[in-house]
Amino acid sequence: MLDVRSCATLSEAAGILSGDRQAVLIGGGTLVMRDVNEGRLTEGTLLHVTDPAFRRIEAGGGRIELGAGVTMGMILANRELAFLHPAARAIGGPAVRNMASVGGNLFAPAPYGDFTVALLALDAQVVVQAGFGSGRATPLEEFLAARERSGSALVTSVQLSRPANPGDFHFRKISRVKPKGISVLSIAAHLPLTGGRVAQARLAYGAMAPTPIRARGVERALEGKSLDAGAIQAAKQAALEGCRPATDAIASEWYRREVLPVHLGRLLAGNSR
């Protein structure tokens, strides 16, 4: 039998999640409730968090904190988060965006997880709370590598720094059905320039591996370079390092590998498509 518990505080939810293997946190429910409707989830307890902290946005200064229950719709309604709007807008249609949470996106299996790709290119930290007590900040990349094992811990928020120049941040979702098709792949890039040269490049891909991944080969190829044709060519050559895309209903592994360097090249060259 499936039960539901409302948790008035985050620590209550974290405590239940740590102690009960059959407890499942429900963020926006866009993935969990599918399983309920399909009869794949019939036992255990759904945890519904009503703590306002779960949906809090702190975006005034250089440090940004998004409660894990913050939805894509809430991000789109916040002007201070304009640099994240392309990534939030990439997710589903309007109704999905009013439900889909930042926390849920961290757990969404490929080819989902587009918002997480943006967070990865922004060096975000994930605040995880296992049991009572306070949360621990973990680099997003580490969190994703351990994602399957982090099943029983609560993500309370994500933290990131505002890009000094929002124009240095780029996000692109490649899909076949416009405007809201599921990702063939997605790319996020944070390319701060110092004296016209890339310093501390961060690139991430979605749907190119079981979780969103950093594009380390590209980061290395661009580091210290100006974004000219030679650097872009080198980046394209390094584009597929570490990629393990799946074949699914949206695209084959072959297709994903073929089109990634093309779209990466266009993104780096500043082409709008």
Partner 1 sequence: MAKIPVQFRLNGTDRAAFVDAPETLLNTLRRSLGDFAPKYGCGQGACGVCTVLIDGEPHLSCLTLSIACEGRQVETASGMASGPELHPLQAQFMEHFAAQCGFCTPGMLTAARSLLDKNPNPTRDEVIEAISGNICRCTGYEPIVAAILAAAGSPGLRRA
Ligand X SMILES: Cc1cc2nc3c(=O)[nH]c(=O)nc-3n(C[C@H](O)[C@H](O)[C@H](O)COP(=O)(O)OP(=O)(O)OC[C@H]3O[C@@H](n4cnc5c(N)ncnc54)[C@H](O)[C@@H]3O)c2cc1C
Each residue 211-250 as x (binds partner 1 by CB under 8 A) or -, in order, gives ----------------------------------------
* Residue 100 in contact with ligand X, rule: CB under 6 A: yes
Pick from ligand X, partner 1, none: which does 3 bind, CB < 5 to 8 A by kind? partner 1
The residue range among 27-35, 202-210, 226-234, 252-260 that interacts with partner 1, by the rule CB under 8 A, is 27-35
Task: Confirm or reject binding of residue 78 to partner 1 (CB under 8 A).
Answer: no
CA 170 to CA 21: how far, in whole Å?
Answer: 39
Of the candidate spans 26-34, 207-215, 235-243, 260-268, the one that interacts with ligand X by CB under 6 A turns out to be 26-34
Q: Choose the contact partner of 249 out of ligand X, partner 1, none; CB within 5 to 8 A by kind.
A: none
State the minimum distance, in angstroms, from the CB of residue 117 to partner 1. Answer: 20
Instruction: Report the run of H or E that residue 183 belongs to, with start and end.
Output: strand 183-190
Measured CA to CA in angstroms, residue 47 lies from 15, 44, 86, 113, 135 at distances of 11, 10, 30, 22, 18
Per-residue H/E/C for 69-122: CCEHHHHHCCHHHHHHHHHHHCCCCHHHHCCCEHHHHHHCCCCCCHHHHHHHHC
Report if residue 37 touches partner 1, rule: CB under 8 A: yes
Structure tokens at 151: 């099943």
Which among 108-116, 190-198, 244-252, 257-265 is the span making contact with ligand X, rule CB under 6 A? 108-116
205 three-state secondary structure: strand
d(CA 124, CA 117): 10
Residue 91 binding target from ligand X, partner 1, none, CB below 5 to 8 Å by type? ligand X
Site membership for ligand X, residue 25 (CB under 6 A): yes
107 touches, from partner 1, ligand X, none (C-beta below 5 to 8 Å by class): ligand X
Question: What is the sign, positive or negative, of the torsion defined by CA atoms of 97, 80, 85, 102?
Answer: negative
Chosen residue from 46, 90, 238, 240 binding partner 1 by CB under 8 A: 46
Question: Does 68 contact ligand X by CB under 6 A?
Answer: yes
> Between β-strands 136-139 and 125-129, what pairing exists: parallel, antiparallel or unpaired?
antiparallel
Query: What is the rounded distance in angstroms from the CA atom of residue 269 to the CA atom of residue 246?
Result: 27
Please, are residues 163 and 170 in contact by the beta-carbon 8 Å criterion? no
Of positions 18, 48, 59, 123, contacts partner 1 by CB under 8 A? 48
Reading across the β-sheet that carries 202-206, which strands appear in turn? Answer: 169-175, 183-190, 202-206, 213-214
Q: How far is the CB of 263 from ligand X (least distance, A)?
A: 16
Determine if 105 is a binding residue for partner 1 (CB under 8 A).
Answer: no
Contact between residue 102 and residue 56 where contact means Cβ atoms under 8 Å apart: no
Residues near ligand X (CB under 6 A): 24-32, 68, 90-92, 96, 99-101, 103-105, 107-108, 112-115, 154-155, 182
Residues near partner 1 (CB under 8 A): 1-4, 6, 26, 28-30, 33-34, 36-38, 46, 48, 73, 92-96, 98-99, 179-180
